[in-house]
Amino acid sequence: MKEKTCFKSSTNPSSIDLFLTNSPMCFQNTSTTTTGLSDFHKMVVTVMKMSFQKDPPKEVYYRDYKKFNKELFKEELKKKIDREVGCYETFEKMFISVLEKHAPLKKKVLRANHAPYMTKALRKAIMRRSQLQTKYYKKKSHSNYVSFKKQKNFCSKLYKKERKKYYDALDIKKVTDNKQFWKTIKPFLSEKSKKSLKITLKSEEKIISNEGIVAEEFSTFFENAVKSLGIDTGNPLLGDTTSLDNPVEIAIKKFENHSSVKVIKENICIDVEFDFKQVQADEILK
């Protein structure tokens, strides 16, 4: 540690802590902090650098209502219904065919961390900023730096403008409704909330982020967890208590064959057996 960690001597503090690793490039921002647990020692803290597989882009299907005419759509649909009368499946096919003509189904590809306020202008500005940044890193001249800095400031202003515009036009129902509120607001509260949309697992030194593989890992884990209990499926877990009236005897009889009760009996030596009816009688006599 280059920073001072021991302040036992206020005039001559020293560094007595060592941070040993064979992969120094995997750690960053190593420093010290005061915890309040010691009068003169500081605690060493560091940040481990980890890389995760980038989430795949999302494919979103939507209807293009740019040239949609409500009256023409209704008129054409009515003509088709008058010509062809049938079951619901026939009507559904007619409706979809007419809708496809007036409002065709289109597909767009979005980033995994797509923000709802992201517009075409902001997306182009960010792409231009990345181009100028790459150009500046390749050749660090003053003109390239000025161009990159100018575009970076423009992106920051446009980002704030588009975000404010999104909130100003936000439907009040999405804020007053509890279910819609968190879907609308949560992505803007913290960067961590975006990453929590997808589950990432670590299995045998491997980072797993693929949704299909993650689902298989969970399925295998819980399936083996049940099998590891050693429950004999041939025997009933719950005993027959129809002939009993005492609630304590019912509980004992009901769970006497349960696997957890059997394990407890095997590991704990029970020397005394209680006669619950006799105990009740003795309490009454007292």
Asked if pLDDT for residue 196 goes beyond 70, the answer is no
What is the pLDDT confidence band of residue 152, given thresholds at 50, 70 and 90?
A: very high
What confidence score (pLDDT) does residue 55 get? 73
Query: Is the model's pTM score more than 0.75?
Result: no
Residue 236 structure tokens = 């009933």
* Nearest CA-CA partner of 104 in 65, 60, 58, 59: 65
Which of the pair, 33 or 160, is modelled with greater confidence? Answer: 160
- Domain boundaries along the sequence of the chain: 1-50, 58-110, 120-195
Q: Is 275 left (phi over 0), alpha (psi -120 to 50) or beta?
A: beta
Asked if pLDDT for residue 283 goes beyond 60, the answer is no
* Nearest CA-CA partner of 69 in 30, 21, 101: 101
What confidence score (pLDDT) does residue 246 get? 82
Highest-confidence range of 107-121, 134-148, 203-217, by mean pLDDT? 134-148
pLDDT tens, residue by residue, 94-114: 888 888 889 899 998 887 777
Strands (DSSP E) contained in 130-229 are 201-203, 206-208
Q: What angle do CA 86, 89, 94 make, to 5 degrees?
A: 80
Give the number of other Cβ atoms within 10 Å of residue 129's Cβ.
20
Q: Which of 37-41, 143-147, 148-152, 167-171 has the lowest mean pLDDT?
A: 37-41
Asked if pLDDT for residue 284 goes beyond 80, the answer is no
What confidence score (pLDDT) does residue 233 get? 56
Contacts 24+ apart (CB under 8 A), 2-11: 3/31, 3/32, 3/42, 4/32, 4/42, 5/32, 5/41, 5/42, 5/44, 6/40, 6/41, 6/42, 7/40, 7/41, 7/42, 8/40
What confidence score (pLDDT) does residue 132 get? 94
What confidence score (pLDDT) does residue 194 get? 44
Highest-confidence range of 37-46, 126-135, 187-196, by mean pLDDT? 126-135
Q: How many residues are given for the chain?
A: 286
Beta-carbon-side half-sphere exposure of residue 227 (alpha carbons within 13 Å): 6
What is the pLDDT confidence band of residue 22, given thresholds at 50, 70 and 90?
A: confident
Q: Which amino acid is at 273?
A: E
What confidence score (pLDDT) does residue 131 get? 93
